[in-house]
Amino acid sequence: MSARTLGLFLILSLASAACASIIAPKVASEPAALKPGAYALDPHHAAVLFKVNHLGYANYVGRFEKLEATLDFDAADPELSHVEARIDIASLDVGNDEFAATLAGPDWLDAGRFPEAVFRSTRIETIAGNAGRMIGDLTLHGVTSPVAFDVTFNGGAADFLRGGYVVGFSAKGEFSRKAFGVDRFDSVVGDKVVIEIEAEFVRR
């Protein structure tokens, strides 16, 4: 390698490191990093997965591609905070377009009659550190019933790329699909549906 090539390589390496240090957020996970205010979901950095037992062999996994959510966080009294989320049922993805259409069809989730699933929090509890519990009403398949999620606050930081303050969460909950009137093949497909959520919110 010539001296000129080596010099160019070193310059590019230093420039790349400098850019990375500017772009990479300094994420802090302590509760104080969750700043008060109104937030909107970054749909490009969010996922809602579901798992349901299939014939006792394994868990069948799917996700929804279109969702939106808001978070209004009250730092003085976190229990007064509020989350609302909406999921487009027709955006169901199970890795098979034909079967996804069947599951979103009238025999299962019936997206034609019930195009959205809506969750509205009714209570948020802080447990310890960055852990909490969110209880709310889930409306799915025309039925509204309470659902609880265990939530972890992963951290917050000023985000250079998105031009604002960003916070991230992981959440997990479960519910009975029969409670929402989705009971097809209940003898071979599990009743318990596990929901896993990864979400990043940008402060408005």
Q: Is the dihedral of CA 65, 66, 72, 78 positive or negative?
A: negative
156 pLDDT above the threshold of 50: yes
Domain ranges of the chain: 29-203
What confidence tens digit (pLDDT) does each residue in 37-50 have? 999 999 999 999 99
76: pLDDT confidence band, cut at 50, 70 and 90?
confident
- DSSP 3-state helix, strand, coil percentages of the chain (rounded to 5)? 20, 55, 25
The H-assigned helical ranges of 49-147 are 97-103
The percent of residues in the chain predicted with pLDDT above 70, rounded, is 89
Q: What is the mean pLDDT of the chain?
A: 91
15 pLDDT above the threshold of 50: no
Work out the average pLDDT over 143-149: 98
18 pLDDT above the threshold of 70: no
**CB environment 28-61: b (16+ within 10 A), e (fewer):** ebebebbeeeebebbeeebebebbbbeeeeeeee
75: pLDDT confidence band, cut at 50, 70 and 90?
confident
Would you give the DSSP letter of residue 36?
-
pTM, to two decimals: 0.86
78: pLDDT confidence band, cut at 50, 70 and 90?
confident
What confidence tens digit (pLDDT) does each residue in 82-113 have? 999 999 999 999 999 999 999 999 999 999 99
The answer to whether 62 and 94 have CB atoms below 8 angstroms apart is yes
177 pLDDT above the threshold of 80: yes
Tokens of 171: 């959440």
What homologous superfamily is domain 29-203 in, according to CATH?
Lipid/polyisoprenoid-binding, YceI-like (2.40.128.110)
